Amino acid sequence: MTSLVDVARAAGVAVATASRVLSGSDHPVSAKTRAKVVAAAEKLDYSPSALARAMVSPNSRLMGVLVSDIVNPYFSVIARGVDDVATRAGYVTMLSNVDRSTATEISRLQAMRDYRAAGVIFAGSGYVDDPHRPGLLKAVRQAREQGILAVSLADRDLGCPTITVDHHAAAHDITDHLVALGHRRITFIEGPSGMTVTRQRREGFLARMRDAGLGGGARCVPGGFDYEAGHTATLRLIARRPLPDAVLAANDEVAVGALGALRQAGIDVPGEISVAGINDLRVAQHVGLTTVSLPLYEMGSLAARHIIESAPGAATDGAATTTLSHRLVPRETTARRPPER
């Protein structure tokens, strides 16, 4: 392990000088000396210890991101956004999966705090009536007091900046699309029970239905966030006909699961029934699913940018909320309601 001392010795200069050259300081150093140092560093295969650097500087250049499950494309897109700007800024991204467990979230936050991360991004949604919430709040506050910027990507009231999307409005808008197509009886396949985002999307759906005077035609059934959930829920729907005019799924994967069940049963989409999702991930594009596009990548990159820009000791914006806009993406799984049924 060759250190700055070794380089300095090999170059015949003081460590301070070597440091000035190798750390890109603006302190003046003669061209000749500079060359000697660079040559020595090269020859000795010097690798500056980011650890030692982080200890002495106020900024570790470590970017933390907490996701529920990186295998879930919703989160991998966010993580990609984070890592892209982190890398560009010379940071390294630390990733942890927390499996929707607030307790795990707290413990991984601690781990990242131990490494003095410049910031930690909470990508996941919170829970309604979460018993661990006070503990999380405390952990976030303590991290902040230590200079670690937290950013939430969902409405969680964590006492930190929030960069999110209006899930209620997203569900509202896609429901509106369905209603505008003439659908009256619409079934919403919900997300995992207890999650805040599940409730927000459900309420958005119900609000639009009520406003359209279609409250009676609105139905909500339990689901989840994966193919399986959409498939199962839809099978149940098919079993107890009549079918609704349309199905709105909690997210794209659920919608694709629903699509599969419907087609296997020989039910034409969108001929007999319309199907829509939320998120607009790659799979939605592929199957031509009508959905709402959420700026997931931007949420990740913006959060990272925020952390980098407020890096050392800038004024914390308290807990400002930035809401990014979503966009309706009509595709081939929704169509005007057939005049007769």
Task: Enumerate binding residues for a copy of itself (CB under 8 A).
Answer: 1, 45, 47-52, 54-55, 60, 62, 69-71, 73, 76-77, 79-80, 83-84, 87, 92-97, 108, 110-116, 142, 145-147, 226-228, 231, 256-257, 260, 282-283, 285-287
For residues 188 and 227, which CB has a smaller minimum distance to a copy of itself in the complex?
Answer: 227
Query: Taking the CB of residue 171, how many other CB atoms lie within 10 A of it?
Result: 27
Q: Residue 20 binds which entry of DNA, a copy of itself, none, with Cβ cut-offs from 5 to 8 Å by kind?
A: DNA
By the 8 A CB rule, do 232 and 203 touch? Answer: no
State how far the Cα of 160 lies from the Cα of 147, in Å rounded to an integer: 12
Helix orientation angle between 133-145 and 102-114, rounded to the nearest 10 degrees: 10
Could you say which of DNA, a copy of itself, none residue 69 binds, taking C-beta under 5 to 8 angstroms by partner kind? a copy of itself
Site size toward DNA, by CB under 7 A: 31
Stretch that binds DNA, among 25-33, 84-92, 98-106, 258-266 (CB under 7 A): 25-33
- 294 alpha-carbon distance from chain centroid: 10
Instruction: Check binding of 323 to DNA (CB under 7 A).
Output: no
Task: Using the Cα atoms of residue 221, residue 157, residue 163 and residue 326 in order, give the sign of their dihedral.
Answer: positive
Number of C-beta neighbours around residue 327 at 10 A = 12
For 79, the token pair is 């993580």
The DSSP output letter for 279 is B
Q: Is 92 in the site for DNA (CB under 7 A)?
A: no
Q: Which of 5, 180, 319, 320 binds DNA (CB under 7 A)?
A: 5
**Distance between CA atoms of 138 and 293, rounded to whole angstroms?**
34
Contact positions with DNA (CB under 7 A) in 38-67: 46-49, 52-53, 55-57
With respect to a copy of itself, which residue has the nearer C-beta, 25 or 47? 47
**Do β-strands 327-329 and 218-221 pair in parallel, antiparallel, or remain unpaired?**
unpaired
Minimal distance, residue 318 CB to a copy of itself, in Å? 21
Binding of DNA by 111 (CB under 7 A): no
User: For the CA atoms of 295, 300, 302, 305, what is the dihedral angle to 10 degrees?
Assistant: -160
Residues in the chain: 341
Q: Find which of DNA, a copy of itself, none residue 17 binds, CB within 5 to 8 Å per kind.
A: DNA
| Nearest-approach distance from CB 22 to DNA, in angstroms | 6
Site of interaction with DNA (CB under 7 A): 1, 3-5, 12-17, 19-20, 22-23, 25, 27-30, 32-34, 46-49, 52-53, 55-57
